[in-house]
Amino acid sequence: MEISTSNAINVLNEVNKAVLGKKTEVFEIMTAFLANGHVLLEDIPGVGKTTLANSFAAAMSLDCKRVQFTPDVMPSDLTGFSVYRRDEDKFIYQPGSVFCNLLLADEINRTSPKTQSALLEVMEERQVSVEGVTRKVPEPFLVIATQNPSGASGTQFLPEAQIDRFMINLSLGYPDSESELEIARTAGKGSRAQVVQPVLNAEQLTAMQEETEKVFVDEEVYKYILQIVTSTRNHPYIERGASPRATVSLVRTSKAAAWLNGRDYVIPGDVAAQTPYVLSHRIKTNSSAKTGNIRKYDIINSIVQTVQMPYMGNRK
C-alpha cells in the first residue's frame, strides 16, 4: 500500500473545512493520531469539539461512537456485558461503545471515577476484559475525550492514571472573528461535518502510523527529550513532574510531526513544538506557582527555553 504525507494533508484539508480557524489544533490532533495516541480537549461547551471529532471520523472513514458521560453511565456501557438469551439458553456478549475506531468521550469528567477507570485498559492495551474474557477492539482505536474546565458545576477530576494515558492535551478556544462570521452565515444548514469528504480509510491510517514509527531519531535528540521531561521533576514550581510515559509520548509525537512535515528524521524543533501539548496535563504545580498565578504553559515554555537544543548540523 502506497502511503505518503499527502494522504495526511488531505485529511487536514477536509477537517479544516468544518473546523474553521483551528489549523494548529487540527494539525496537533492529526499528529497524535499518527502517533497512535489519544487526545484530551479541555474547553468550554460550544466551541466545536464534537464537530472536530466527527470531521476526523468522516475524513478517515472511521467507525465513530459518541458517549455522553453523565453520573449514571456505567462501566458496562463502555466495555460491554452479557445478556441471557432464552432461545439459545446461554449468555450472549453485547459489545460496549469502545468497540469502534474513534471514541468520542464527551464531558468525561461528569461521570463517576469507576466509569472513567473503565477506559484505562482499552486506552493502553486496545483490549477489554469482561467476565474473565479479553477481547481486542478494532484497529486503529483512538479516543478524543472532552472535559469541561475544572471546577465547573457537576465535574470531578479524572484519575491521574487516566490523564497520563492521553498523549496530548489542548484547548480549541474561541474562533477568530472571520471564522465565527462564516459559522454564523452557515447556521441552520446542518452539521458542518457534513461538508467533509472521506479521503482515507482505517487501513491506510494504520499504514501511516507504521510509517511514522520508522522516522529516525538521533541519539542527541533522545537526550534532549529526556532533559526536557526530567526538568519537570526538579522544577521549583512543579510538585509532581512528568512520568516516563511522557518521554515515550514526546518521542512519538515528534516523529509524527516530522513525518507530517515531510521529513524522515526528527529535529529538535519538532520536540520543542510538541512539548507543551505532551506535558501540560502531566505536571502538577505547587502552591508557589498557584500563589504567583504562574500557568503550566509558562513553566513548560521556560523549560523549553532553558534546555539547550542539540546541534544537528544542517538539521535545526
Instruction: Classify domain 1-210 by CATH number.
Output: 3.40.50.300
Q: What is the DSSP letter of 240?
A: E
Whether 34 and 209 have beta carbons less than 8 Å apart is answered as yes
Write down the domain spans for the chain: 1-210, 214-307
Average pLDDT, the chain: 89
Q: Measured between alpha carbons, how far apart are the two ends of the chain, in Å?
A: 31
Give the residue carrying C-alpha cell 478494532. Answer: 138
Q: Domain 214-307: which CATH class? A: mainly alpha
Record the pTM. Answer: 0.90
pLDDT at 109: 87
Show the DSSP H helices in 232-295 as ranges: 244-260, 268-279, 287-291
Q: Which of 2-6, 83-87, 133-137, 189-193 has the lowest mean pLDDT?
A: 189-193
pLDDT band of 313, cuts 50, 70, 90: low
User: Which pLDDT band, with edges at 50, 70 and 90, does 42 fall under?
Assistant: confident
Decide if pLDDT at 186 tops 90.
no
List CB contacts of 223: < 8 A, sequence separation 6 or more: 310
Q: Give the model confidence (pLDDT) of 248-306 as tens digits.
A: 999 999 999 999 999 999 999 999 999 999 999 999 999 988 888 989 989 999 999 99
Query: Using 50, 70 and 90 to split pLDDT, how confident is the model at 315?
Result: low
For the stretch 147-181, pLDDT in tens is 877 655 667 778 888 899 999 999 887 877 887 78
User: Taking the CA atoms of the chain, what radius of gyration do you get in angstroms?
Assistant: 20
Task: Decide if pLDDT at 316 tops 60.
Answer: no
Supply the pLDDT for residue 252: 98
Q: Are 11 and 52 in contact (CB under 8 A)?
A: no
Q: List, for residues 222-233, the tens digit of each pLDDT value.
A: 999 999 999 999
- Given this model, what pLDDT does residue 270 score? 97
Helix (H) or strand (E) holding 160, with range, is helix 160-163
